[in-house]
Amino acid sequence: MSASLDSATEGLLPGGEKLPDFRGETSWRLERVKIPEQMAALKAKGFTYLVDLTAVDHHGEDPRFEVVYELCDIQRKKHLRIKTRVSEGESVPTVSHIWKTAEWHEREAWDMVGVRFAGHTDLRRILMWDGYPHHPLRKDFPLAGLSTEMPDIAFTAKAPLEGGPFVTNSASLTQDREPRAHPAEERNL
Amino acid sequence: MSATTLEFGDAATRTAEMEDVGEKLVLNIGPSHPSTHGVLRLVLELDGEVITKADTDIGYLHRGDEKIAENMTWNQFVPYTDRLDYMAPLANNVAYACAVEKLMGFELPPRAKVTRVICCELARISAHLLGLGAFAMDVGAMTMFLYTFTEREKIYNLIELLTGARFTTSFTRVGGQTRDIPPGFLEGVTEFCAQFPGRLDEFGSMLNRNRIFVDRTKDLGIIPDDVALDFGLTGPNLRGSGNPYDVRRAFPYLDYETYDFEVPVGSTGDCYDRFAVRMEEMRQSVLILRQAVAKMPGGAWQVHDSKNVLPPKDKVLTKMEELIHQFLVVTQGPDAPVGEIYFGAENPKGELGFYLNSRGGGVPHRLKIRAPSFCNLSILNHLLPGHTVSDVPAILGSFDFVMGECDR
């Protein structure tokens, strides 16, 4: 995988911030408002394949969410990651008119993490059912689930977690965190 | 009407504009229907027999794998990858392990790489055989399914010998596999490779000139290559349209660049081309298997990093250090660095990618699965209009999707 971009491509990203390379991958952080314009320029430059689009919840930080685009230039065999930050309540301009595949990816990001994409023509839920009130991949959504008051849904009771095979319920964790495997700060090796 | 204020659950079939058309019929296929290969639901608006509008409804098999992954250690997630593309669990195991190893910065020993190549190619043949059998059955050639399952059975026996399980293999761990290849396995693979091409010729002769099969698949569901890429299609569905993108070639992993194989591409991008590409890919997989068996090196089959890789079981039971390491790796997980990576692998259905976002420690901060079936299906809304209802099983069959990985 080729590491850095050529200078012509870098020139397409004014206002962007180059992030440190990690494991041979190049990442850039772009300003939210410039996403459609700069993404269209990247596509014209050869990044014709949008591999993936996802959103990450950095709960407790501001801006809270980060949208991550994985681009690929098939001809020159280059990979590029574009990231942009977005606060709760704000929206990211859509790229679904640039790459059709973003249509479903953006619907999924909205459904799972709750990031809105401005200009998307069909921003419905995709994996959860219509009218579901929560966004399950947010960090403040508990693993057990939340009960919802929806008609025509068989049951929405919380899942029984106690005694579950893979869930570590450590006594040292405070109650407002969900049971999980030992987080990084607890490692003392 | 916003998504959160719907008064009835089944909104997709009753949009306001639908109530005015009158002449048109709304046909609901699935979520439980033999030709939808699982729990895919299609809402088709029909004018006579011609589809005028299609809405693909997915999510019936959503199990929250990505949420679950955030709550367990890296190794604990391996069994969940079995349930993504459950036609090729071994290939998923390998893709996931390679992704975490990329994050950890591990370089696998040669024996582990070759073992994983064998896993990937066995899984590819097995998945394509099922896709081929189900496709043929959908368009009326019932016999194929029974033939391909006979061959799959032989692969299952090999996989059982290798992993101890036939279906949910959970074979890989971060930094290696659960165990070394057992005696007799390589001989079994050689034996399979010797007889399989002949069987493949037989399958081909049953379908290539089968009038019903060809009439129902040729010039149907045509996808131009630029459109295919725009919708993120990968795997045989993209290559059927003529684009030679194959992750094994473009971004080689597991030393795929050292193997001699061809990447077959189609010419028109119709259902028949997608079928033909899969047939040829199985032949190429046999070639790769033969090369892998021939060059299987000896030596270590796990990365040597005692603090992050599970130690061999015999040492765990006899040595104190290994017992401590085993305890730490199992309870706290491998200690991943802070960072984020994307790793894509060429799976039978297309590019299976993992985006891993780590804040350090034994658990992912975010794990996103880039599922090939999810992207492949996203084209249906645009592809189906203009076709007739009887074309739907042929198009769905030629896509060879798995809802387990689409819905995750």
Q: State which residues form the domain around B205.
A: 65-407
Same-domain status, B182 and B50: no
Q: Same domain, yes or no, for B332 and B238?
A: yes
Interface of B with A in 87-146 (CB under 8 A): 102-103, 105
CATH of the domain at B124: 1.10.645.10
Give me the mean pLDDT over the A20-46 stretch: 87
Same domain, B389 and B316: yes
B195 touches chain A (CB under 8 A): no
What is the pLDDT at residue A157?
67
Which of B 241-260 lie inside 8 A of A, CB atoms? 243, 245, 250-251
Beta-carbon separation of B251 and A79 below 8 A: yes
Distance between CA A160 and CA A145 in Å, rounded? 10
pLDDT computed for residue B4 by the predictor = 44
* Structure confidence at residue A159 (pLDDT): 64
- Mean of pLDDT values over A7-32: 81
The pLDDT value given to residue B189? 93
At residue B1, does pLDDT exceed 90? no
Average pLDDT over residues A148-156: 66
The mean pLDDT of B258-286, rounded to a whole number, is 91
From B57, B76, B92, the end of a domain falls on B57
* pLDDT at B5 exceeding the cut of 50: no
Whole-model pTM?
A: 0.86
Are residues B74 and B172 located together in one domain of the fold? Answer: yes
Interface of A with B in 121-150 (CB under 8 A): 123-131, 133, 136-137, 141, 143, 150
Interface check B225 vs A, CB under 8 A:
no
Residue B232 shares a structural domain with residue B379:
yes
Residue B48 shares a structural domain with residue B187:
no
Q: What is the mean pLDDT of residues A144-157?
A: 68
If asked whether residues B186 and B327 sit together in one domain, one would say yes
List all residues 6 or more positions away from A33 whose beta carbon is below 8 Å from its beta carbon: A93
Q: Quickly list H helices, B139-266.
A: 142-163, 185-207, 211-217, 225-230, 236-239, 247-250
Q: Please report, rounded to a whole number, the percentage of residues in chain B having pLDDT higher than 70.
A: 94
pLDDT, position A156: 63
Confidence check: pLDDT of A188 > 50 = no
* ipTM exceeding cut-off 0.90 for this assembly: no
Q: Which residues of B112-143 are buried (b: 16+ CB within 10 A; e: fewer)?
A: bbbbbbbbbbbbbbbbbbbbbbbbbbbbebee
Check residue A171 and give its pLDDT.
41
What mean pLDDT value characterizes chain B? 87
B378 touches chain A (CB under 8 A): yes
Report the run of H or E that residue B66 belongs to, with start and end: helix B65-69
Q: Is the dihedral of CA A174, A177, A181, A182 positive or negative?
A: negative
Nearest CA in chain B to A141: B67
For residue B32, the model assigns a pLDDT of: 80
Residue in chain B closest to A166 (alpha carbons) equals B72
Q: pLDDT for B329-382, tens place per residue?
A: 888 888 889 999 999 999 999 999 999 998 887 888 899 999 999 999 999 999
How many other CB atoms are there within 10 angstroms of residue A30's CB atom? 22
Question: In terms of pLDDT, which residue wins out, A153 or B376?
Answer: B376
Question: Which residue on chain B is closest to A136 by alpha carbon?
Answer: B67
What average pLDDT does the segment A150-156 reach?
Answer: 64
A132 to chain B, closest Cα gap in Å: 7
pLDDT digits (tens, 9 = 90+) for A44-93: 888 899 999 999 998 888 888 999 999 998 888 888 899 999 988 888 99
Percent of chain B with pLDDT over 90: 35
Question: Closest Cα to residue B302, out of B104, B158, B125?
Answer: B104
Most confident of A150-154, B19-23, B291-295: B291-295
A154 touches chain B (CB under 8 A): no
Asked if B31 reaches chain A (Cβ–Cβ under 8 Å), the answer is no
Question: Smallest Cβ distance to A167: which of B71, B307, B374?
Answer: B71
If you average pLDDT over residues A143-148, what whole number do you get?
A: 73
Could you give all domains of chain A from N- to C-terminal order, each with its CATH number? 7-137 (3.30.460.80), 142-184 (no CATH)
**How many angstroms separate the CA of residue B223 from the nearest CA in chain A?**
14
Q: Which of A139-148, B92-101, B341-350 has the lowest mean pLDDT?
A: A139-148
Question: Are B92 and B228 part of one and the same domain?
Answer: yes
**pLDDT tens-digit map of B200-249:** 998 888 888 888 888 888 888 889 988 999 999 999 999 999 899 999 98
Burial class (CB in 10 A: 0-12, 13-18, 19+), A123: buried
- Residue B79 touches partner A, C-beta closer than 8 Å: no
Q: Would the pLDDT of B18 be above 80?
A: no
- Yes or no: say if A136 and A80 are a contact pair by the CB < 8 Å rule: no
Residue with tokens 């109530």: B19
Quote the minimal CA–CA distance from A90 to chain B in Å.
17
Q: Are residues B206 and B343 in the same domain?
A: yes
B164 and B104 in a common domain: yes
Q: Please state, in angstroms and as integers, the Cα–Cα distance from residue B386 to each residue in A120, B21, B240, following that order.
A: 25, 18, 21
Statement: residue A163 has pLDDT above 80: no
Number of compact structural domains in chain B: 2
| In a shared domain, residues B30 and B82 | no
Higher pLDDT, B18 or B23: B23
Chain B touched by A168 (CB under 8 Å): yes
Both B171 and B26 in a single domain? no
**Given this model, what pLDDT does residue B369 score?**
93
**Inter-chain touch A56–B105, beta carbons under 8 Å:** no
Residue A40 has pLDDT above 60, yes or no: yes
| A51 interaction partners in chain B (CB closer than 8 Å) | 232, 342, 344, 351, 353, 370
Long-range pairs of B292-298 with CB within 8 A, sequence gap ≥ 24: B292/B114, B292/B117, B292/B118, B292/B121, B292/B259, B293/B118, B293/B186, B293/B189, B293/B190, B293/B193, B295/B114, B296/B111, B296/B114, B296/B115, B296/B181, B296/B186, B297/B110, B297/B111, B297/B114, B298/B111
Q: Which H or E element spans position A81? A: strand A78-86
Question: So what's the pLDDT on residue A84?
Answer: 92
Is the pLDDT assigned to residue B192 strictly greater than 90?
yes
d(CA B336, CA B364): 9
* Residue B234 Cα, gap to closest chain A Cα (Å): 9
